[in-house]
Amino acid sequence: MKSYIKHIRSGSALILLFLATQGLATQQSSELQEAQQTADPYYDSTPKKGWYWYHDPVAKPEKPEKQPDDQSGVTEQEQRAPDDKKYTMEELYDMYPDHFQELLNVKMKKAVQYPTEENVGDYLTMQDIARRKSAAFSSAVQFVTQKDAATLSVNDVYPSTIPGVEARTQMREKEVSDTIRAAKDNHAILFFWKPGCIFCEKQVDILKYFTEKYGWEIKPINIQEQTALASRFNITTTPTLLLIRQGSEQYMPISVGVISMEEMEQKSYQAIRYLNGDTTPETFTNQEFEKGGSLDPRSILDKSKGGSL
């Protein structure tokens, strides 16, 4: 009896295990069907269908191929372009430049793609109109420049003729020399160098000539010995030339590296005028004789007071 009960209990356990397994399988089957239905729109769960009795998917209608509007070879872009109609010469001549350029590009592309006599002729005609408009503009510029020479011409300080160029050069050189000589008593140049610097040796010869010509004091500073002074001016490269002004903490670099005599004169002149307050960053490259002229950036504001465009 005990063995029988034990057998029954064992059988019951097996039955319960079987039923539980079947329930799990049913649940898994249901979940699988739901997943299959979600994943595949053609799965049909109705009786005697499913995977073995599936129906063919509905064919999607194909989009009809776009047919060209005509067979003339003219693209859609060309159809929208401003050459759908013929323009008179007067209309083309007075056309706004942006529109003219757009139409010219279309004519050029059409002439290249379809080089017929008519297409090439249209393109060359527009090119001729563009050339004539350019000539008209150039002529008008010369007329206005000559008529309003007092305000628009630069010949007063920057002549184009040979005699005028020579005269301007003489004026520039004289002003540079006079300014440097006048500043020798209250300005000095610091020459930063170091032993073994071959560039410094080349710069020394130029400094000797500068001193002989203008009588300036040039103070050499060995950056390896006078490290504090070199650090004060943040000098790391030799040769370096620095312009200082007596009674002022302001200074102005003249050059870093070897500099020619002509360049040293011009940069010393500019630095002197800047430290003396005779120029600003806007007029730094201008010379004194150019002040108020056509090359003076702000002189136009004084001449055109009360006027407007």
pLDDT in tens, 69-101: 444 444 454 444 455 568 899 999 999 999 999
DSSP codes joined into one string, 146-197: HHTHHHH--TTTS--SHHHHHHHHHHHHHHHHHHHHHTTTTEEEEEEE-TT-
pLDDT, residue 148, reads 78
Fold of 163-291: Glutaredoxin (3.40.30)
Is it the case that residue 253 has pLDDT exceeding 90? yes
pLDDT, residue 34, reads 54
Q: Which pair of tokens denotes residue 21?
A: 């397994």
Is it the case that residue 256 has pLDDT exceeding 90? yes
- C-beta neighbour count of 108 within 10 angstroms: 17
- Model confidence, pTM: 0.56
pLDDT, residue 64, reads 56
pLDDT, residue 217, reads 87
Is it the case that residue 26 has pLDDT exceeding 60? no
**Distance (Å, whole) CA 223 – CA 307:** 57
Listed by start position, the domains of the chain span: 76-143, 163-291
3-class secondary structure, 222: strand
Q: How confident is the model at residue 291 (pLDDT cuts 50, 70, 90)?
A: confident
pLDDT, residue 125, reads 93
- Average of pLDDT values for 134-159? 79
Cα 271 to the chain's mean position, in Å?
31
Mean pLDDT, the chain, integer: 77
Cα distances (angstroms) measured from residue 241 to each of 196, 259, 266, 295: 18, 9, 13, 29
Q: How confident is the model at residue 294 (pLDDT cuts 50, 70, 90)?
A: confident
Is it the case that residue 56 has pLDDT exceeding 70? no
Higher pLDDT, 33 or 274: 274
Higher pLDDT, 70 or 114: 114
- Comparing 59-73, 127-141, 152-166, 169-183, the range with the smallest average pLDDT is 59-73
